[in-house]
Amino acid sequence: MPLTNNTNGNYTIRQLKLPLEIEKLIDVADPVYTFCEVVDHIDLTKYFVDGKDYKTGRPRCDAQKLLKVILFAFMEHGISSLRDIEKLCRNDIRFLYLLDGMKTPSFVTFGNFIRNELTISIEKIFKDINCYIFEKEQVDLEHTYIDGTKIEANANRYTWVWKKSCVRNREKVFEKISSLIECMNSEVLGYMGVKLETRDEYAIDYVETLLQQYCRVTSLDKNSFVSGRGHRKTIHQRQYQELEGYLERLKTYAKHIEICGESRNSYAKTDHDATFMRMKMDYMGNDQLLPAYNVQAAICDEYIAVIDAKPYASDQDCFVPLMEKFKEIYGHYPKYPVADAGYGSYNNYLYCEEHGMEKYMKFTMFEKETKNEKYHTNPYRAVNFRRDAEGNLICPNNKKFIFKYNKHVKGNKYGRTEELYECESCEGCPNKTECCKSTKGNRTVRINRELTTFHEEVISNLESIHGALLCMNRSIQSEGTFGIIKWDRNYKRLFRRGKESVLLELTLISCGYNLYKYHNKKKRTASIAA
C-alpha cells in the first residue's frame, strides 16, 4: 500500500519499538547478571509473609522484585535516594529487567517497604548473600581485619546536651531547693508547727511530696493563683511556683542523663542515639565536634563480614560487641582479629584470651616500644627495674620499692587491678630529676604484670613474619574498604536517624559493597583467564 501524506506525517524515527527480550539489549558483562546469580540462589520467600487478602485498593507490589531493585541500586551507586531509585526504574533498562513487567513503584512504596519489611530481615539477607559469596570465593573467616570510622549523623549540628553540664546544673538546683525549703520553714511553715526536711540531693518523688505537703498545710488553692501585670502574688503562691519550677528542671536533667546513659557524655537533640565526637574534616587533620556514629567493620578477604554502629567515641568499647556479632552470624570467633592501636586494651586482650583468639591488636605505646630504642631501654622505666632475690623492684640508685596496696582501675569492667609500689627513699638521689617527675616525696609506680605479659605477647606476634603480613593486609583491606565507601561512593553522612534505622542503612550499603566487590573479582578473573 503506497504511503500517503497523512501516513508520513504520523511516522517518526523515534517510534516505539517492542523488543521481544530485554536482556538482549544488556551487555553480557553487566553487573546485573552477577547480581541475579547471587540473589537467585537465595530463598527470598522466607523473609516476606503474605498479608491478608485485600479485596479493595490497588494490588500489592511483589516484595522480591522490590528487594532486588533496592539491592541492585545500592550495588551500583553505593547510596541512592528513593526518588533516584524510582527514576532508575523508569529509565534504566536493567531495572526494568529486574522489575520483569511490574509497574514502576513510587518512592513512597520503596520507603514503606524498607521501613516495614527490611528493618527486621535485612541482617538475615546480608548473611545469606555473604554465605553464597564466601563459599564461591573461599573466603577465610579466621583472619579478620577490624577498623572503625566516624560518620556524621543526620542531626542538627548545633543542638546537643552535655551530661556533665546536666549533672553540674542539677547540683545547683539541689542547693536552691535547700535554700527555698529553709525560707519556707522560717517564713510560713514555722508558724504552723511544720518543718520540711532538707537533703543534699533531692529525688523527683520527694520534691513532688513536698509540694503536696505544702499545699495541704497552707490550704493552698491553685485555682486562686494570679498572674500578669497589676496582680500581686502571695508568699504561698511564690514559694509553691518556685519549687514547682525546680521540679520541672530536675525532671529535664533526669531525662537528659537517662538518655546519655553510663557510657556516653552527650547526645544530639534531633537524634538521641547520636553522640558528639571529634571528626577529621579535611586532609590537614582539622577536626570539628559533630553528631556522629562510630561505624565498625570486620573485613575478610576484602568483603565486609560484619558491620555495626555504636554511639561510643572510643574504638576500645566497640571491639567486644563487634566480635559477639561475628560469633552470632558465623557461629565462631575469628582466630586472628587484627586491629590498630585504638583497640588495644586490657579488657580486649583478656576477652581474646577467654575466647581463644590470638592478640594482634597494637597498644598505645607500641610504636615507641618497638622503634624507639631510647625509650625501650630507658633505665628509669619501672618495667626495666631489676629485682632482688625476693622479687622486690630495685631502682638505678639501688633503692628498694616497697609494695603499698592493690588499686582497682576506675571504670574497668573486668576487675583490673594495679600494684602500687613506693620507693623507700628518694632523698638525696642524684637521678631524681630524670627518674621522678614529681620533686616532692618518693616516687610511686603502678605495675600490672598481666597487662605487661599481654604487651610482650602482642609485640612478639606483630613482629613475626605472619604479624607483619597481617598488619599490611589490615591497612589495605579495612582502611581501603572505608575509603571506597566514603570517597569513591560518596557516603559521608547518614540519611536515617535512630540506631535501628542507621544499622539498616549500613547493612544495605554493605550488601551493595559485597555484591560490587564480587562482580569486580569475577570480571578480573575472567580477564586473566582470557
DSSP 184-241: HHHHTGGGGT--PPP-SS--HHHHHHHHHHHHHHHT--GGG---STT----HHHHHHH
Q: Do 196 and 259 belong together in one domain? A: yes
**Is the CB of residue 32 less than 8 Å from the CB of residue 519?**
no
Picking from 268, 297, 312, the residue at the C-terminal end of a domain is 268
Residue 360 domain flag:
no
- Are 39 and 102 in the same domain? yes
Position 479 in a domain: no
**Do both 103 and 165 map to the same domain?**
no
pLDDT confidence tier of residue 251, bands split at 50, 70 and 90: very high
For residues 216-245, give the mean pLDDT: 89
What does the pLDDT average to over 271-278?
94
Domain assignment present for residue 153? The answer is no
Same domain as 248, residue 165: yes
Tell me: pLDDT of 16 over 60.
no
User: In the structure grid, which three cell numbers stand for residue 89, read together?
Assistant: 526504574
Say whether both 167 and 247 belong to one domain.
yes
Q: Are residues 207 and 113 in the same domain?
A: no
Question: Does 17 score more than 90 pLDDT?
Answer: no
Is residue 41 one of the residues assigned to a domain?
yes
Which pLDDT band, with edges at 50, 70 and 90, does 451 fall under? Answer: confident
The confidence score (pLDDT) of residue 256 equals 96
The pTM assigned to this predicted structure is: 0.87
Per-residue DSSP letter, 382: G
Burial class (CB in 10 A: 0-12, 13-18, 19+), 254: middle
Q: Please check whether residue 33 lies inside any domain of the structure.
A: yes
Kindly report the number of other CB atoms within 10 A of residue 208's CB atom. 15
Specify if 66 maps to a domain: yes
| 498 assigned to some structural domain | no
Task: Specify the number of domains making up the chain.
Answer: 2
Q: What does the pLDDT read at residue 1?
A: 47
Reading phi first (left if > 0) and then psi (alpha if -120 to 50, else beta), residue 415 is in: left
Task: State the pLDDT at residue 9.
Answer: 58
CA pair distance 106, 127, nearest whole angstrom: 28
pLDDT at 72 over 70: yes
Do 197 and 127 reside in the same domain of the chain? no
Helix (H, G, I), strand (E, B) or coil at 281: coil
What digits encode the pLDDT tens for the residues 139-179? 999 999 999 999 999 999 989 999 999 999 999 999 999 99
The pLDDT value given to residue 129: 95
Last residue of a domain, one of 268, 291, 316: 268
Residue with cell 604479624: 467
Domain boundary among 268, 283, 305: 268
**262 part of a folded domain:** yes
Q: Write out the residue range of the structural domain in which residue 187 sits.
A: 161-268
Closest Cα to residue 444, out of 453, 435, 433?
435
Using one digit for the tens of pLDDT, what is the confidence trace for 78-111? Answer: 888 999 999 999 999 999 999 988 899 999 999 9
Q: Are residues 130 and 166 in the same domain?
A: no
CB proximity list for 277: less than 8 A, separation 6 or greater? 150, 289, 290, 291, 292, 294, 313
Question: For the chain, percent helix, then strand, then coil, each to nearest 5?
Answer: 50, 15, 35
Q: Do 187 and 107 belong to one domain?
A: no
- Alpha-carbon distance of 378 to 398, in angstroms, equals 16
Confidence of residue 303 (pLDDT cuts 50, 70, 90): very high
